Structure 1
C-alpha cells in the first residue's frame, strides 16, 4: 500500500467499538474525525495519550470533531481501559489490523534486536467531506492532543 497523502479520500473503515456496535467512517459523514492509532491499551505511552484526548473532549466537540482511538486490542480490553481511566472517547478494536494497514500504521518495528509488526503511533485528521486534512506519523505523545485540537479548530473555522 502506498503512503496516504493530505487531500486524498480517507480509507473507509468499520470497526467494533466499546459499548457494542461498530464505528465507521460512513456513519460519521459530515463530521470531522480524528483517527489515532496506538499500540496497546494501558501502557506508558498510550495511557497519557488517551487521557490527553479525553481532557480535551469538550473542546473537540465544540469543533464538531469525533475522536477515535484504534489499536489491535479487543473491545473487552478497551472497555476495561476506558473504565480504569475514565476515558470519554471512542475506542475501536482493529484486531486483524485491516484499518491499520489501510492507513499505513501497521509497520515493521524493532526492539532489542528483534523485528516484529506493530502499530506506529500515528494520527489522521479527516474532514467532514471524508478527505485527509492532516497526517501525523511517528507521534510523540506530549502535546500531541493539543496540536491535533488546534488543527481541528483551524479546519472548523474554514
Structure 2
C-alpha cells in the first residue's frame, strides 16, 4: 500500500463526466484543511496494511504547535481527509518510455481495499471526503508548508 500524503489548506476533487460534446465536471469531495491522501494498492495488500496505514496517518504529528514544531496530529488539529484512489503510484518507469502497471492491484481487489480504508478512517471520527475509484478526476489543492510524505507498507513487512 502506498500513499502520497500532502498537508493542505484546502483540496477538492472533481469527476470529469460526459463525452458528448463538452467536458462536464461534478464535485466529488472537498476539505478546508487536513490531508490529501493519494492511495494506491498492490496485489498482496490486505486489511493488515489498511490498519497499519490508518494508525500511521492518524498519529503522525504533522501540524505545528504554539512553538511551530510539528507536534500535533490531525485529530488534535481538527483536520479532514480527502482520499483519492491513485493506481499510478504503482507505475514502474525504470524501463522504456511507457509506465508498467503490473504491480498495481486490479479493480476487483483494489476497490474493496479502498472502500475498507475509507471506512476505517471514517470510523475513527474524522471528516472524510473521497474521489471516485476509476474515474477521471481533477484534483486541486493548496499544499500547506509544503508538507508532503511518501508512506508505504509492504504486506511482507513485520510490525
| TM-score between both structures, scaled by the size of structure 1 | 0.38
In terms of fraction of residues, the more helix-rich structure is 1
In terms of fraction of residues, the more strand-rich structure is 2
| TM-score between both structures, scaled by the size of structure 2 | 0.38
Relative contact order higher in (CA < 8 Å, ≥ 6 apart)? 2
